[in-house]
Structure 1
């Protein structure tokens, strides 16, 4: 798969805006995976039968239809959960069109699964950390998503937490820290770099 496949995509918006809590991050992730999977399956037979100029409007219509159906289903399942997602659910349709334009659905399945899995994992980690740091709770209002009896979640700090973590600037700060931590962890140590050079340059 082409590495800059997600260049100019809109995934940063839900990653920052919809991860204020674990519940919202999980809800957007589930809806995103469902709509993207259905879009890929439905668009595959249409792609070869449509002219190049007709693929974009067909993709827009298909993505909007699938996202609207997902929103209606979410509203029927849990109105509170669907309202809590706000505008982020509506952006999934536009995300599908961007991914189609970037060639995401024509890439190998393993690459698609790895990319989607990594994004969902990052969404869940961001949602859990921001809720934990910002509110002192974990999985609050998760019952809205699973349809069970009202469960307040785990209250780890009754006095709340750092409110900045639940806001957009806090999301950017946390994302930057996670990226920096990942790069520091994945970067080889000087001893490993020296051993690698000695092995490949006798």
Structure 2
């Protein structure tokens, strides 16, 4: 199995599970970026000092500590948002360790930035589409990330939307439809 498929498959879980609203997707992506950056910064001086067989356990400890701290900060910032994360925030620690073992942190910073940006764009797109189709709103839970704001978001339909789109199976269906649309577009352009 190649390196890209391992790291992409690990990113699939939060992409499907944590994108039922735009604000949840934005929060998970922000947490991902902060923890990945802190992990890369913290692991760089340790990597050269550790014996090769101790790098994975040290990475697990560092990633778990950083993710736990990020979850505590998220809980203190907004309990509603942190409760909607579920186990997806914990998967960030696993992503750190797998990315480290695939030498992601030794790659050029532009490649790392491109992967994080692509992941963020996918998270925001899925979150926006699922909230729009599932609830008929856009930005309905902005108060979760911006404290003290009592804004209901843009309500586009009075009766809500297709509830399946906010559930995990709806995320798989929407992602499958987006991949099929991309494939159709590529065939038409050739």
Q: What's the TM-score bracket when you normalise by the shorter of the two chains?
A: over 0.9
Q: Which residue of 2 aligns with 1:183?
A: 183
Q: Which residue of 2 aligns with 1:32?
A: 32
Counterparts of residues 91-130 of structure 1 (less than 5 Å) = 91-130=91-130
Q: Which residue of 1 aligns with 2:135?
A: 135
Query: Cα offset for 1:183?
Result: 3.5
Query: Cα offset for 1:109?
Result: 1.0
Matched residue SS, 1:57: helix
Query: Cα offset for 1:163?
Result: 1.2
Output the CA distance in 2 between the equivalents of 1:108 and 1:4.
16
| Aligned partners of 1:133 and 1:161 also within 8 Å | yes
Output the CA distance in 1 between the equivalents of 2:183 and 2:157.
31
Query: Cα offset for 1:184?
Result: 3.7
**Relative to total residues, which structure has the larger helix share, 1 or 2?**
2
**Number of matched residues?**
188
Q: Which residue of 1 aligns with 2:67?
A: 67
| Aligned partners of 2:21 and 2:130 also within 8 Å | yes
Matched residue SS, 2:49: coil
Query: Cα offset for 1:188?
Result: 7.3
Superposed CA offset, 1:137-164 (max 9, x none): 1111111111132211111011011111
Of 59-68 and 160-169, more deviation after overlay is shown by 160-169
Q: Which residue of 2 aligns with 1:7?
A: 6
Structure 1: runs of 5+ lacking an equivalent: 191-202
Structure 2: runs of 5+ lacking an equivalent: none
| Aligned partners of 1:6 and 1:102 also within 8 Å | no
Of 36-45 and 82-91, more deviation after overlay is shown by 82-91
Output the CA distance in 2 between the equivalents of 1:151 and 1:56.
44
Q: Which residue of 2 aligns with 1:199?
A: none
Query: Cα offset for 1:185?
Result: 3.6
Q: Select the structure of larger CA radius of gyration.
A: 1
Output the CA distance in 2 between the equivalents of 1:164 and 1:179.
19
Instruction: Report the TM-score, using the length of structure 2 for normalisation.
Output: 0.93
Output the CA distance in 1 between the equivalents of 2:148 and 2:185.
39
Q: Which residue of 1 aligns with 2:172?
A: 172
Output the CA distance in 2 between the equivalents of 1:188 and 1:114.
27
Superposed CA offset, 1:71-119 (max 9, x none): 1111111111111211111111111111111111111111111111001
